[in-house]
Structures are given as structure tokens and as C-alpha cells.
Chain A
Amino acid sequence: MAEVVLRNLAKSFGTTQAVRDVSFTVPDGAFVVLLGPTGAGKTTLLRLIAGLERPDCGEIMIAGRPVASDTPAERNVAMVFQQYSLYPHMSVRDNLAFPLRSPMLRTPEPEIALKVRAVAETLKIAHKLDNKATALSGGEMQRVSIGRALVRAPSIYLMDEPLSSLDAKLRTDLRVELKRIQTSLGATFLYVTHDQIEAMTMATHVGVLDEGRLVQFGTPREIYETPASLYVAGRLGLPRMNMLPAALFAGAPPGAQTIGLRPENIVQGTGRPARVVRIEHLGDQTRLHLVFDGHEIVTLTDPHTGLEPGDLVPIEPMNPLYFDADGARIARGDY
């Protein structure tokens, strides 16, 4: 396992700037999650680290060594792709053994057999080892491709939305399992996801990308509680943060353009009245859709609420976030 340092990394494809001046450090043993919408440069960043793309400028260091001239094999990284994951002409066993048999590792066959079996059991695919890779379900395929990374002990695991194709139960199981493996091995992970729960529960650090730029890098709590901008604030939170004109409520600091209210930061029972539009029972949470002074607001409420559409509920902000005209957050000390 090793520390990975990115310094002023940039990469463009034709006229599209995929990655712009990105610098951050993945500390040894950290689980770094990259967040950002499609096209933000997350996958390109992984491919740059893996050596599948050459950066236009900037530097990548793995374990303190610059790797610019190294081939992907020499970088000793493992990567789980979002798709096209398995070698279709091989059995599951051969897929898992493939990295171990490489000229870089040259593992003795008995050791390969042990490692393959151990990984297959962890990922609950031991009974499918002799199947052809093409004879698996989508979820099983993705588990095998995660397994192909886990049989190795690379400097860093790069994972590109590895769980996005799995059903909810399997995703939860594997999320817990991956985190357990990461903690027990002390492995370094760089992990791309859209899933808030994965980001919040697995990450030691979260990096948020916007059009190729790293806009914030910090712990999941920092990203959630003190987002640097409206953009970052919108990346985490379900339901999303309510973004309203700052003047809607009293107490906005000077220069504030927008007030950001997470659903849990809206107190019901005091303040000014909002009209109930719709109540959504999702099971684990109950969402209350309100209209306040012509603006839609989503908040959470008690599952056994007696509210009906059309009712009036008084609401008041609690610990709101304020953003200026450029979308940057105004620090708490300033108001």
C-alpha cells in the first residue's frame, strides 16, 4: 500500500478539458471517494493514475516515486472498470488468476489457487469458479471484477463505480465488505461513485470535481456540513439541500445571495407558515413537500404525521448555510 500524490494534473481530449490543474494526496491507507456528475473528470483521473492516459502536464507520485514513464503494469495499481469487466473467453477462476499469472507477479500455481478461493469466498462466488465468465449475471460479473483487483496487493485500488450495477441488497453487502477489506488490509482506495451512502460511509476523504477541477477535498463531514460552494452542497444530501433566496428569511449576512437549507435544518412548529403540497412515505424517511412564499421546499417529518396536503406548517431555518453571488459559501465567522 502506498500514498499517491497528484500535482497540477491536466488532461484534455481535443478541445475538451477533462482534468484541469488537479492536486491532492491520497494518504497511505485512506479511502478517497471522488464525487461529481458525468463528465466531471473522475474516470479520466483514475485512468491517469493507472497509466492508461498520459497527462498533458503535472505529476503523479506513487509511494514517493514519480511514475510518468512507467507502464500501467509497472505502476502496480489495480482497477475495477465500470463496464467491460471480465475476459469473456476465460472461466471465472482464470479471470481471477489472470493478474497473479502475469509476468509482473508470476505467482506459483498453489498460491494462486489459495488466493482465488479466498477472494471468491469473500465475494460469494466460490460456487461459480468454473463457470464461463459470460455465464454470470451482471452482479456476479461485477463481483468477479472486484475480485480480480482484490487478489492482488497493489499500491492503490482504483474503482470506477464498482457497485452501481448491483441490486440494493448486494450493494449494501459489498459496501460493508469492501470497507472491511480496506480497513483490515490498510489498503489505499480511490473510488468513484454517485452514491451518497457509499461516499459517506466508506470514505475517509471526499474529493468533489466540477468540470475537471477539484473544488473541495476533505472529510465526508466537512463536505456535508461546510461545503465550499453551492455546487459542492448539491452533491451530497438526500433529499437535496434547499437553495432559496437569502432574503426569504431574516438574519442573512451581507453579501449573501442564497440560503442553503438541508432538510434536517428546517424546524417545524415555529416561524412563518408554509403550505403542505405532498407527503411522500419512503419507508425509512417521510418527505414533506412545502411551498413557502412561492418557493418549493423539501424537508423530513415524522412517519406518523397527521399533516395533509393543504395544511399550513410554520417553519424556521436552523444553522443555515449562506452563499454569495458566485456560489461560494460565506464562512460562519462572518455572520
Chain B
Amino acid sequence: MSAHSITEPSVRQKWFAGALVAAYALITLLPLLWIIATGFKSSSDAIAYPPKILFEPTLEGYVNLFTAQTRQSPEYLAQNPPATWYEAIVHDKGMVIAGPSRYGERFMNSVIIGFGATFLSVVLGTLAAYAFSRYRIPLKDDLLFFILSTRMMPPIAVAIPIFLMFRNLGLSDTHAGMILLYTAVNLSLAVWLLKGFIDEIPREYEEAALIDGYTRFQAFMKVVLPQAATGIAATAIFCLIFSWNEYAFAVLLTSGTAQTAPPFIPTIIGVGGQDWPAVAAGATIFLVPVMVFTILLRKHLLRGITFGAVRK
């Protein structure tokens, strides 16, 4: 059937749109593919010029990323043959594995701080947005503007006061400190985004729930939250992406215990300079959680807001 509604795009328009999307995807995905590929290159392939499109893949970068190595004498190496495939890779370079690297810890720090800050931002943001949306609050508009104004400068502009505050409060290089900091930065975005979503949910639903025998808090939990799920998912993704990728504060405020992956990855040094395959491997693994999180919540994002049950 060729009959279609006039609001439906034509086949040619669809092709054109598809080509645009494909071109855009290519441009944005290319660096990503480059990093993923570099992670599987050998050190010399990684810096080869002209760049190698086809190369012999190796897990050397990943092994280097996760292990600390020391050089050993040929005699020692001959006496201690490698027992596992990853030991073999190290062995071939004249090294032995001395222990795990710190990447695992740094990655876990990123998980704890990133998801912790996201959770806190979304919980506080939802409560604040609900209050702004539903209650009569004195100076509401000024408060909302004030909250937004924290985003009008780059957060790093206040790096020095925050550095001093953290030092005096003993929050430097702690998980709690970084979670608090990222929550503070994310909160303005969370409140504004979520307020928009909650404003869209008609009060009548809560009123109906109040009459149906529920308290205001129960009505909020059972009627408002499920309908705000889309907005909460979107907000959570934005908050996670910020706290996951944040670099400047992480460099400034963390060095050991609470250091996240972004400041750690560039410091991965191999034999004779930067170990690019290990850096690329670290970046590749670092991408995975945000990708998984986004894909998991994508259904929520796409489900759309179900306002069909109302008569307008």
C-alpha cells in the first residue's frame, strides 16, 4: 500500500534523514572505535605512522592495564616459565607480573562515587522538585533562580575555595567528599529537570489518591514517582555522565584512596613512555558502565510519558 497520511514523511525524506543520522553516528563513533582498536594494538602498532587500520590484535594493553610488572634477568625468566597466557605476554617482553595494578581500585572508586552521587542527586532532586512543584514556597522563583545560578559558571571556577573547604573539613581524597561535591554540582540540573517532569503530572492524581485513603507521602510514592520515572531516568543518566567523566575536581581533590579513573588513566606509564594500548584499554573499560546504564534506562526514556489516561 502506497497510501499514507500526509503527516508521515515520504520515502525520500526517510532516506535523507537516515543518511544524516548515519553520517552523524560515523563522526561521533570514529574516535570511540579508534580507542577500542588501540586497546588491542601492540605498543609499536599504536604509535605507527601512517596509522595501522589492520593490525594483529593482542591483549597486551589489557594485561599491562591490570598488572604491575618488573624487569627480570634472562636467567630468571628461563627458570620460571609463564604459567598463564597473560604471564606469557609479559614474559615475552622480559618482565614478570609483580601484582595487580591500581586500575581496579580506581575503577571501583569511580563506581562508588559516580553512582553514589547520582543516587543522592536524584533522591534529593526529586524531593526538592516535588516541593517546588506542589507547595507554595515563599520566594520560590528566587530560590529556583539561585539554584540554577550555581550552574552559570564552570564548577572549576570555585576550585580553590572548595579545595580549602575540603582540606579544613577533612574531606580531601575521601569518597564522601567527592560524592557530596558531585551531588552539589548535579543538584541544580536535577531539580530543574525533575520539576519540569513533575509539573506535567496533574495534581488530580494525587488528590484522587488522597481521597482513596492514602497519605500525601504514599500518594507521592505510588502515584507521582511511577509517572515521573521517565524524568528520573533521564536525570539519572545526565547526573551519572557528569560525575563519571568529571576530571578537573578529581585531579585536584583526590590522589590516593578516593582517586577516580579519569585522573588515573593518563598516568599509566609503560616501558619507555606512555603505554597507549593500556591507556586505551583503560578508557574502553571505563566507557562500559555508562553505556550499560544508559542502555538499561533507554527503555524508560523511550516509553514516553503516558498522559493518555486524561480527558483534555
Other-chain contact of B211, A79, A86, A132 (Cβ < 8 Å): A79
Known: A84-B202, A84-B205. A134 touches B210 (CB 8 A): no
Q: Is A73 an interface residue (CB 8 A)?
A: yes
Contacting residues, chain B, for A270 (C-beta < 8 A): none
B210 touches A84 (CB 8 A): no
B212 touches A89 (CB 8 A): no
Q: Which of B80-88, B164-172, B213-221 contacts A (4 or more CB under 8 A)?
A: B213-221
Other-chain contact of B212, A83, A102, A133, A141 (Cβ < 8 Å): A102
Contacting residues, chain A, for B209 (C-beta < 8 A): 87, 98
Known: A52-B207, A81-B208. A88 touches B213 (CB 8 A): no
Q: Is B157 an interface residue (CB 8 A)?
A: no
Contacting residues, chain B, for A182 (C-beta < 8 A): none
Which residue of B is nearest A74, CB measured?
B213
B289-312 interface bits toward A, Cβ cutoff 8 Å, 1 = contact, 0 = none: 000000000000000001111111
Contacting residues, chain A, for B205 (C-beta < 8 A): 84, 87
Contacting residues, chain B, for A103 (C-beta < 8 A): 213-215, 218
Q: Is A218 an interface residue (CB 8 A)?
A: no
Contacting residues, chain A, for B307 (C-beta < 8 A): 88
Separation in Å of the A107 CB from the closest CB of chain B?
A: 10
**What CA separation (Å) do A99 and B202 show in the bound complex?**
19
**What CA separation (Å) do A148 and B215 show in the bound complex?**
18
Contacting residues, chain A, for B208 (C-beta < 8 A): 79, 81, 84-85, 87, 148
Other-chain contact of A99, B212, B223, B226, B310 (Cβ < 8 Å): B212
The interface size bin for chain A is 20 to 34
**What CA separation (Å) do A241 and B211 show in the bound complex?**
39
Q: Is A1 an interface residue (CB 8 A)?
A: no
Other-chain contact of B312, A72, A83, A89, A133 (Cβ < 8 Å): A83
Known: A84-B204, A134-B309, A141-B309. A50 touches B226 (CB 8 A): no
Which residue of A is nearest B212, CB measured?
A99
B213 touches A52 (CB 8 A): no
The interface size bin for chain B is 20 to 34
Q: Is A285 an interface residue (CB 8 A)?
A: no
Q: Which of B209-261 contact A (CB under 8 A)?
A: 209-215, 218, 223, 226-227
B179-218 interface bits toward A, Cβ cutoff 8 Å, 1 = contact, 0 = none: 0000000000000000000000010110111111111001
**What CA separation (Å) do A135 and B308 show in the bound complex?**
8
**What CA separation (Å) do A84 and B209 show in the bound complex?**
12
A98-121 interface bits toward B, Cβ cutoff 8 Å, 1 = contact, 0 = none: 110011110000000000000000
Contacting residues, chain A, for B309 (C-beta < 8 A): 84-88, 133-134, 136, 141
Separation in Å of the B218 CB from the closest CB of chain A?
A: 7
A84 touches B211 (CB 8 A): no
Which residue of A is nearest B309, CB measured?
A88
16 A/B residue pairs, CB under 8 Å, sorted by A: A52-B211, A71-B210, A72-B210, A72-B211, A78-B211, A81-B208, A84-B205, A88-B227, A88-B306, A88-B310, A89-B306, A99-B213, A102-B214, A132-B306, A135-B308, A148-B208
Q: Which residues of B are in contact with A by a Cβ distance under 8 Å?
A: 202, 204-205, 207-215, 218, 223, 226-227, 306-312
**Top 7 A-B pairs ranked by shortest CB distance?**
A102-B213, A104-B213, A84-B204, A88-B309, A134-B308, A99-B212, A72-B210
10 A-B pairs besides A52-B210, A72-B207, A84-B208 with CB distance below 8 A are A71-B210, A81-B207, A84-B204, A84-B309, A85-B204, A85-B208, A98-B212, A103-B218, A134-B308, A148-B212
